Amino acid sequence: MLMAWTLVTGGAKRLGAHLCYALAEQGYSVVVHYNKSEQEAKDVVKKCQEMGVEAAAIQGDFSSNEAILDFTKRYLLKFKETTNLINNVGNYFVRSGLQTPLSDWMALFQINLHAPFILIQKLIPSLLESKGQIINLGVSGLYENPAGIYSTAYRMTKSCLWMLTKSLSVELASKGVRVNMVSPGQTDLSVDLQHQKHKLPMNRPCECREISRVITFLLHPDSVYITGQNIEIAGGS
């Protein structure tokens, strides 16, 4: 019997590491993707294994289509069956739209949008066979999509990822694969928390464990009828 894996991109640090730990606690076999954080990935793998589950790490550069295709080739050779794909990896910077260099603009779309799309395309045969799930990480406010000066490119990538999520959920629903988005607001690891925390209705940021709980809820068999949804974890903001 083949081992069924859950792939967490960007799983070596920050929210990604918390997601891996939460999945391990629920008994999922975890693949920790990393780019440059090899030691951190090894540490996450070790901790997951100490929880009694199978865990492994794999390096992957998502900065170009060719690099992603190389990653998927190596991944599929090593991990024959993937039950769940969690597209967590993503870049972020605070900069107005007109002040964003074209190279940075393109790089942000590459990591935040093109990489998840290519991964889904390449892993879909395995996900179809296992009737698995795809969970994309978004950002709060995509429903209202308010205009803003800063982080223009970032919010555009997440808006596009939300549209991809909705479209794929319809395309794959009859085939047994569910596709959802989880969109945190300010978290306790947000890079701009100091400038935003005074605006938070609950007077505190979202904790990573609260995001992890929503993701494990979506993965649970009791959530089998939930697809095409964007669940915000934003504390009312």
Q: What is the pLDDT along the chain (237 residues), one digit of tens a residue?
A: 456 899 999 999 999 999 999 999 999 999 999 999 999 999 999 999 999 999 999 999 999 999 999 999 999 999 999 999 999 998 877 777 788 899 999 999 999 999 999 999 999 999 999 999 999 999 877 777 666 667 788 889 999 999 999 999 999 999 999 999 999 876 666 555 555 655 666 666 778 899 999 999 999 999 999 999 999 987 766
Backbone angles phi, psi at 113, to 5 degrees: -125, -50
CATH code for the structural domain at 4-231:
3.40.50.720
User: ∠ at Cα 189 (185, 191), nearest 5°?
Assistant: 85
Q: Which two tokens stand for residue 215?
A: 């993701």
Which residue, among 122, 4, 20, has the nearest Cα to 62 in the 3D structure? 122
Query: CA–CA separation, 171 vs 167, rounded Å?
Result: 6
Catalytic residue status for 154: yes
Distances from the Cα of 50 to the Cα of 10, 27, 47, 110, angstroms: 20, 12, 5, 35
Backbone angles phi, psi at 11, to 5 degrees: -90, 5
Q: Which of 21, 34, 75, 154 is catalytic?
A: 154
Domain map (residue ranges) of the chain: 4-231
Other beta carbons within 10 angstroms of residue 201's beta carbon come to 10
Q: Which two tokens stand for residue 8?
A: 């967490």
Q: What pLDDT shows up at residue 1? A: 43
Predicted TM-score (pTM) of this structure: 0.92
- Give the distance between the most distant pair of CA atoms in the chain: 53
Given phi > 0 = left and psi -120 to 50 = alpha, else beta, which region is 234? alpha
Residue type, 37: S
Cβ atoms of 44 and 124 closer than 8 Å: no
Q: What pLDDT shows up at residue 188? A: 63
Tell me the three state secondary structure of residue 122: helix
Which residue, among 121, 55, 56, 54, has the nearest Cα to 87 in the 3D structure? 121
